[in-house]
């Protein structure tokens, strides 16, 4: 096991195969079960390799995964040709985390050969967590998101977050890999392998059975809200065209008027449904506020807000009393898409026009209040587009005792690709993690109502004009994950640190 092996073309092919298999487990191919074995080719290629060679193979597998998984980035080339290069650079950067995983796994497997099954999920979850934090955090493609269709299984996310599902899937890969290696070397599988195998089966069965019971147990909604989603289906090349601005607005008004007979309490328009500075458009305000007053309802719209120096990707709540005081400004902007990191500290970077816009960040995740005639009220929090990737933001809404979560997005950038479905799946996990139902309004889809178990109650597919209306049940409870947050990756980090310390102590004794 300690003998170093040279890199071969087969090794690179195996690493790349893991990337392809991983992509196949996500929408639109959606072969979710493939994820449970997808890492085995990469792990096999790492056998006997040096740290540097392990890093190269990991980066290869990671690049193949991210570039094939996020192929839809290239739909942006028609808006910004530099995306052709930027998408490659992004995938190379994200591939570094697969490289880091491969290096740490190779290091630990040589020193703890009997517990390879443990190091795979522990290191994998830790690297995914690191990839998702900071100003460059990018959790898209976390392994657990591939399992959204298994509703019973993903209920475990209410305890661990989505990374708990990543842990289970990576554990399967590590366990099967170790069994294959033992069989190749000894033509048998030792008893030391069967103990973690039975442990894995037990944890998996518990997760599925407990999740199934959680789904089947009678729901006890505190109350419900009659809500409508408006999916305007405005193509991206029309959305920001000033000549089409009035046409787009009138389309949203027509669709909104069509749901009036359902008497919604809340109507939700998608991200930047009004692509102008809505607070400066009295004509738009008059039409919306007159509708809200006549129907005694609230209308939440995405728009742009701000002034000459700071402008925000915003949500504004139009109230039946004619007020627009409740606003939310997007806090987690898309790096290099909505702002340039360090742009304000290094102003010369802004003059290079490296990003299409330079939004300012919102400063607080606060709840909006929807008052009712009976004196009661609903409290809800908002996530705008990319923010739905960040579990901490959704968790903060639940910690503030929000009744439900509204997610608005504009995925028209990515046309008829898998991106809108991948994005939708992430929202389903946010519902499970927080125990809160979700209203998701997307310009070109996928718009939907999601219950607190992550199930889509009603949906509208991509590139369709339309509306969704339903009486959304609101269950009000605090999940273990809401209370304790990302305890699992913290535990994984502790295990990795303990592994290093133990080896260090052993060396000192020698």
Domain boundary among 166, 191, 217: 217
Question: Do 264 and 342 belong together in one domain?
Answer: yes
Question: Looking at residue 396, what is its pLDDT?
Answer: 97
Dist. CA 109–CA 375, nearest whole Å: 62
446 upstream amide cis, omega within 30 of 0: yes
Question: Looking at residue 189, what is its pLDDT?
Answer: 82
Question: Do 302 and 378 belong together in one domain?
Answer: yes
Question: Do 17 and 159 belong together in one domain?
Answer: yes
Question: Looking at residue 372, what is its pLDDT?
Answer: 79
Q: What is residue 277's three-state secondary structure?
A: strand
Decide if 192 is inside a domain. Answer: yes
Per run of 10 residues, the mean pLDDT along the chain (length 510 residues) is 75 98 97 98 96 97 98 91 92 98 96 93 98 93 97 98 98 97 86 92 97 86 92 93 93 97 97 93 95 96 90 95 95 82 57 64 93 84 96 96 97 95 98 97 97 96 97 91 97 96 79
Identify whether the C-beta of residue 114 lies closer than 8 Å to the C-beta of residue 192. Answer: yes
Question: Looking at residue 353, what is its pLDDT?
Answer: 54
Decide if 483 is inside a domain. Answer: no
Domain boundary among 173, 200, 217: 217
Which of 481, 503, 496, 483 is closest to 158 using CA atoms?
Answer: 481
Dist. CA 299–CA 301, nearest whole Å: 6
The encoded tokens of residue 117 equal: 């099954």
Question: Do 249 and 161 belong together in one domain?
Answer: no
Domain boundary among 164, 196, 217: 217
pTM for the complete prediction?
A: 0.94
Question: Do 230 and 203 belong together in one domain?
Answer: no
Provide the CB-side half-sphere exposure for 1 (13 A, CA).
16
β-pairing, 368-371 vs 327-329, is: unpaired
Dist. CA 164–CA 169, nearest whole Å: 9
Decide if 401 is inside a domain. Answer: yes
Identify whether the C-beta of residue 165 lies closer than 8 Å to the C-beta of residue 139. Answer: no
Question: Do 213 and 233 belong together in one domain?
Answer: no
Decide if 499 is inside a domain. Answer: no
CATH code where residue 405 lies: 3.60.110.10
Torsion of CA 421, 427, 432, 433, to 10 degrees: 130
What is the strand order of the sheet 266-268 is part of? 327-329, 311-318, 298-306, 266-268, 223-231, 466-474
Question: Looking at residue 351, what is its pLDDT?
Answer: 53
What is the residue whose two structure tokens read 């033509």? Answer: 187
Catalytic (active-site) positions: 271, 330, 385
Question: Do 376 and 337 belong together in one domain?
Answer: yes
Tell me which residue range forms the domain holding 374. Answer: 224-478
Dist. CA 428–CA 403, nearest whole Å: 16
Question: Do 170 and 250 belong together in one domain?
Answer: no
Question: Do 115 and 253 belong together in one domain?
Answer: no
Question: Do 248 and 137 belong together in one domain?
Answer: no
- Count up the domains in the chain and report the number: 2
Question: Do 293 and 205 belong together in one domain?
Answer: no
């Amino acid at each position: 096991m300690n003998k170093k092996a040279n890199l071969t073309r087969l090794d690179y092919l195996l690493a790349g195969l893991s990337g392809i298999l991983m992509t196949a487990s996500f929408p639109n191919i959606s072969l979710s079960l493939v994820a449970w074995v997808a890492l085995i080719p990469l792990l096999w290629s790492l056998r006997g390799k040096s740290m540097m060679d392990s890093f190269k193979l990991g980066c290869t597998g990671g690049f193949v995964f991210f570039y094939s998984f996020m192929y839809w980035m290239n739909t942006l080339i028609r808006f910004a040709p530099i995306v052709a290069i930027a998408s490659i650079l992004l995938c190379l950067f994200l591939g570094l985390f697969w490289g880091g995983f491969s290096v740490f796994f190779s290091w630990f497997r040589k020193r703890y050969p009997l517990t390879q099954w443990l190091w795979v999920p522990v290191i994998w979850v830790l690297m995914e967590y690191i990839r998702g934090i900071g100003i460059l955090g990018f959790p898209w493609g976390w392994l657990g998101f591939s399992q959204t269709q298994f509703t019973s299984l993903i209920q475990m996310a209410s305890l661990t977050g989505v990374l708990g599902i990543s842990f289970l899937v990576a554990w399967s890969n590590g366990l099967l890999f170790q069994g294959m290696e033992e069989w190749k070397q000894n033509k048998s599988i030792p008893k030391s392998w069967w103990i973690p195998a039975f442990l894995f089966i037990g944890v998996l069965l518990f997760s599925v059975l407990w999740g199934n019971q959680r789904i089947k147990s009678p729901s006890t909604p505190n109350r419900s809200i009659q809500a409508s989603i408006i999916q305007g289906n405005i193509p991206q090349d029309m959305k920001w065209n000033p000549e089409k601005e009035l046409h787009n607005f009138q389309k949203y008004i027509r669709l909104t008027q069509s749901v009036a007979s359902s008497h919604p309490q809340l109507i939700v328009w998608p991200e930047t449904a009004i692509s102008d500075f809505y607070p400066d458009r009295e004509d738009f305000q008059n039409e919306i506020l007159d509708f809200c007053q006549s129907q005694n309802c609230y209308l939440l719209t995405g728009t742009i807000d701000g002034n000459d120096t700071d402008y925000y990707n915003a949500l504004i709540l139009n109230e039946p009393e004619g007020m627009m005081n409740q606003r939310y400004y997007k806090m987690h902007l898309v790096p290099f898409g909505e702002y340039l990191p360090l742009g304000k500290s290094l102003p010369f970077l802004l003059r290079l026009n490296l990003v299409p816009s330079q939004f300012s960040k919102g400063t607080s995740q606060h709840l909006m209040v929807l008052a009712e005639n009976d004196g009661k009220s609903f409290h809800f929090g908002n996530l705008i587009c990319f923010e739905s990737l960040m579990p901490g933001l959704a968790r903060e809404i639940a910690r503030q005792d929000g009744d439900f979560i509204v997610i608005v997005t504009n995925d028209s950038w990515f046309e008829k690709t898998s991106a809108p479905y991948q994005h939708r799946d992430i929202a389903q996990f946010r519902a499970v993690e927080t125990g809160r139902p979700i209203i998701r309004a997307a310009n070109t889809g996928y718009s939907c109502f999601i219950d607190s178990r992550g199930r889509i109650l009603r949906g509208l597919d991509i590139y369709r004009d339309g509306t969704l209306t339903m009486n959304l049940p609101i269950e009000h409870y605090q999940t273990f994950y809401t209370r304790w947050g990302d305890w699992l990756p913290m535990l994984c980090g502790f295990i990795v640190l303990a592994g290093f310390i133990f080896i260090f102590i052993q060396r000192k004794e020698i």
